[in-house]
Amino acid sequence: MYHHIKKLMYTVNVGTPDVRFGNMLLEQFGGANGELAAAMQYTIQGWNCVDDLARRDLLLDIGTEELSHLEIVGALIRMHLKPMKEKREAAEADPLVCIAGGGGLNLFNSQGNPWTGDYLKITGELDVDLRSNIAAEARAKIVYERLINHTDDAGTVDALQFLMTREITHMKAFSAALESLEKSPFSIGRLAVTPKLVDEYFNGSTGDGDEGDTDMHGPWQSSFGLHAVESPMVGGKGLSNGAVDGVAGYEARGKQDSAQKATTATKVQTVDKKPIPKNESAAQKGRQATLEGEPVISVK
């Protein structure tokens, strides 16, 4: 249930309207890294999160705040676009906004491209979604920084500074939620990756370039157990593809499966090598799952 209160989370004051800047602000209204995309992404992730009610609450808290941020951005845009309703030269700055939208808000970005659900990153795997959210907050902060650099209006800068700051607040919350799962940062999903192959950094860009670039080396080739292997194209042995021999096992899930669940959550607990269960509530395609209270039986 939603209830709208007619008061902005942050009071917006625009001294001097700037129609072209109002157009730029549309990027944070209907753009890929904007507040609407964030609100929809976190809220839908929350609705899907039936296996962890605590982190579901987090997602819905922040998703709801993003709607409040959308309202702030909308107020900024309306104030900056106001001259479009009064002066022809202002209207000529962007006919799409003025003629099609009446000099107001609409679900498109600063280039006039319509908002799309393709912007949303929703996998249904909690830790993966949290990582996407952390990255989304980082991208949004960068957009706010760039917007701040293109306006001298003090009230506008203050509102954007507020919004930019909240991105880091949300990043902290998502990061804490991810860390509290207590799982390896490279343990993704349920099935384990192939040993040996996973630690090979493929040196696939070699030679000397026209801009002074050459075959560079850094910690990305040696950290977390990584080591470089050369391509067969330059006489190297290439990747250890021969190490792949079926499924390598199961990933460490941390606390991801032990949280308080919704009454609508499935009784499936973990992936296991076994035939499709006869119980219809556990029937899935491919590798199957263990039901709550069911013994794990490995089948090679």
In a domain, 275, yes or no: no
Whether 279 maps to a domain, the answer reads: no
Cα 300 to Cα 298: distance, rounded to the nearest angstrom: 7
Q: How many domains does the structure of the chain reveal? A: 2
Range 40-60 average pLDDT: 97
pLDDT at residue 284 greater than cutoff 50: no
| Residue 123 and residue 238 in one domain | no
Name the residue type at position 93.
Answer: A
> Same domain, yes or no, for 70 and 151?
yes
Both 228 and 102 in a single domain?
Answer: no
Two structure tokens written together for 164: 């930019």
In a domain, 10, yes or no: no
Nearest Cα neighbor of 111 from 99, 101, 91, 97 is 97
Average pLDDT over every residue of 210-231: 94
Does 228 lie in the same domain as 80? Answer: no
- If asked whether residues 174 and 208 sit together in one domain, one would say no
In this predicted model, what pLDDT tens digit does every residue of 67-121 receive, in sequence order?
Answer: 999 999 999 999 998 887 767 776 676 777 776 667 678 898 888 899 999 999 9
Q: Are 271 and 296 contacting, i.e. CB atoms less than 8 angstroms apart?
A: no
Confidence at residue 276, expressed as pLDDT on a 0 to 100 scale: 53
Q: What is the pLDDT of residue 256?
A: 86
Torsion of CA 22, 117, 58, 72, to 10 degrees: 10
What DSSP character marks residue 193?
P
Q: What is the pLDDT of residue 65?
A: 98
Model confidence over 20-30: pLDDT tens digits?
Answer: 999 999 999 99
- 273 domain-assigned: no
Q: Which of 137, 152, 179 is the last residue before a domain boundary?
A: 179
| Domain encompassing residue 224 | 197-243
Question: What's residue 267's pLDDT?
Answer: 81
C-alpha 8/C-alpha 70 separation (Å) is 10
Do the Cβ atoms of 43 and 107 come closer than 8 Å?
Answer: no
* Same-domain status, 61 and 205: no
pLDDT digits (tens, 9 = 90+) for 144-194: 999 999 999 999 999 999 999 999 999 999 999 999 999 999 999 888 899
CA distances from 105 to 97, 212, 256, 262 (A): 8, 47, 40, 38
Q: What is the pLDDT of residue 297?
A: 58
**pLDDT score for 289:** 66
CA distance 231 to 237: 6
The tokens for 227 are 């080591």
Domain identity same for 224 and 111: no
Report the alpha-carbon distance of residue 213 to residue 263 in Å, rounded: 57
Give the integer Cα–Cα distance in Å for 257 and 271.
Answer: 12
Answer yes or no: do 40 and 136 share one domain. Answer: yes
Is 258 within a domain? no
Q: How many CB atoms lie within 10 A of CB 242?
A: 8
**136 pLDDT above the threshold of 60:** yes
Please report where in the chains the tokens 């207590």 appear, as a residue. 182
Q: Inform me whether the pLDDT recorded for 226 exceeds 90.
A: yes
Examine the domain organization and report whether 172 and 27 are in the same domain. Answer: yes
For residue 14, is it within any domain?
A: no
Let me know whether 173 and 208 are in one domain.
no
Q: Is residue 295 part of a domain?
A: no
Residues 109, 151, single domain; the answer is: yes
Residue 114 has a pLDDT of 92
Q: Same domain, yes or no, for 60 and 167? A: yes
User: What's the rounded Cα separation, in Å, for the pair 153 and 24?
Assistant: 14
Region 28-36: mean pLDDT is 96
| CB burial string 78-108: b at 16+ within 10 A, e below | bbbbbbbeeeeebbebbeebbeebebebbeb
